[in-house]
Amino acid sequence: MSKIQVTKVETLAGHQDCVYILEKGPEPHLFFSSGGDGVIAQWDLNDLENGRMLAKVPSSVYALCYYPERNALIVGQNFDGIHIIDLTERKEKGSIKLGNTQIFDIKVVNDHVFCALGNGEVHVLNLTTLETVKVIRGSEQSARCIAISEVNQELAVGFSDNCIRIYNLQNLSEKKVIQAHKISVFTVQYSPDQRYLISGSRDAHLKVWEVSQAYALKQSIVAHMYAINHLVFSADGKHFVTCSMDKSIKVWDARTFQLLKVIDKARHAGHGTSVNKVLWTNFNNLLLSASDDRSISIWDINFNFSEE
């Protein structure tokens, strides 16, 4: 009988406060992390004992975005703004003040930076000139998460007013408002084939929206006991994982949306508190998870494991 085998590879404990964000690096074996201690750390999956501090800011960091076209790491410093670190020269190349509010998510497309802010705005910035291109005033409540579909030329933003708003990626006009969840939308991701938008919420529900059917609801799943903080797809697009305030990580089939595996403290020596972020790397298919317990866990998930 075929089943999934999950092995905990390592626990990284370099942060002094909650770890809120994980982000890919310039190479498959490199990644970045940050959180409540304001430390931006760089890790090497080939050399786990020697993580190093890339930078430190005075307040919490909820958002990092690596932009390969410029080999730049964009850091969202809460209540300050974004800082752009040139990884080739290993120095800050610029910063932009965004007002006295949290920065919950950052995405970059074609030298345009999209920042989801705690005041309900989405700021669109020019990475070259460091100027504001547009401010989208989507809601009176926080803009929490961003997903971009270049194929469909659409921008999806999840808000704390329970809605997902879809914008035209070219002119940034609002195309649709989805009354998506009962409370805050914490994560949105387009599937790799761009057919679906998947959202996770503080209401613990996972919802699947059909993009080509004007974002009609395809499926609603009671996925966790508490808030779903984040979700991410595997490189091959066949699976995705969700992580939650209920301390667990769950593995799902991306075609059927069936639950395949639960990774938690009791069964796999998982996290002891809220799991805030997941990152599925292209390095040996390793999955990373970050938690309020100040640690980063590294997981090997084997889908080809068979047990007689």
Model pTM?
0.95
Predicted confidence at residue 3, as pLDDT, reads 82
pLDDT > 70 in the chain, percent: 98
Q: Are 34 and 56 in contact (CB under 8 A)?
A: no
Backbone φ, ψ for residue 265 (5° rounding) = -70, -40
For residue 305, name the pLDDT band (cuts at 50, 70, 90): low
Is residue 232 within 8 A of residue 280, CB to CB? The reply is: yes
CATH of 18-228, one of 3.30.930.10, 2.20.25.90, 2.130.10.10, 3.40.50.2020: 2.130.10.10
Query: Is the pLDDT confidence value at 2 over 60?
Result: no
Dump pLDDT digits (tens) for 218-231. 999 999 999 999 99
CA–CA separation, 206 vs 181, rounded Å? 9
Planar angle of CA 302, 64, 27, nearest 5 degrees: 50
* Residues 98 and 58 sit within 8 Å (Cβ to Cβ): no
- Of 11, 50, 16, 7, residue with least CA distance to 297: 11
Q: How many CA atoms lie within 13 A of 299 on its CB side?
A: 31
The alpha carbons of the chain give a radius of gyration, in whole angstroms, of 18
pLDDT tops 70 at residue 308: no
CB 111 within 8 A of CB 118: no
Residue 14's alpha-carbon distances to 19, 215, 252, 261, 264, in angstroms, are 10, 41, 30, 28, 21
pLDDT of residue 267: 87
* Confidence band of 1 (pLDDT split at 50, 70, 90): very low
As a whole number, mean pLDDT of residues 132-150 equals: 97
Where are the domains positioned within the chain?
1-17+229-308, 18-228
Side chain identity at residue 50, one-letter code? N
Question: Residue 8's pLDDT band (boundaries 50, 70, 90)?
Answer: very high
Q: How far apart are CA 150 and CA 180, in angstroms?
A: 22
pLDDT band at 304 (very low <50, low <70, confident <90, very high): confident
Across the range 146-165, mean pLDDT stands at: 98
94-102 contacts: CB < 8 A, separation 24 or more? 94/130, 95/130, 96/125, 96/130, 96/132, 98/123, 102/62, 102/78, 102/142
Confidence bin at 49 (pLDDT 50/70/90):
confident
Average pLDDT, the chain: 95
CA 94/CA 115 separation, integer angstroms: 16
| pLDDT confidence bin for 306, thresholds 50/70/90 | low
pLDDT in tens, 263-291: 999 889 899 999 999 999 999 999 999 99
Tally Cβ neighbours within 10 Å of residue 90.
9
Task: Examine the pLDDT at 307 and tell me if it is beyond 60.
Answer: no
Render pLDDT for 228-265 as a digit per residue (tens, 0 to 9). 999 999 999 999 999 999 999 999 999 999 999 999 99
Mean pLDDT of 191-217: 97
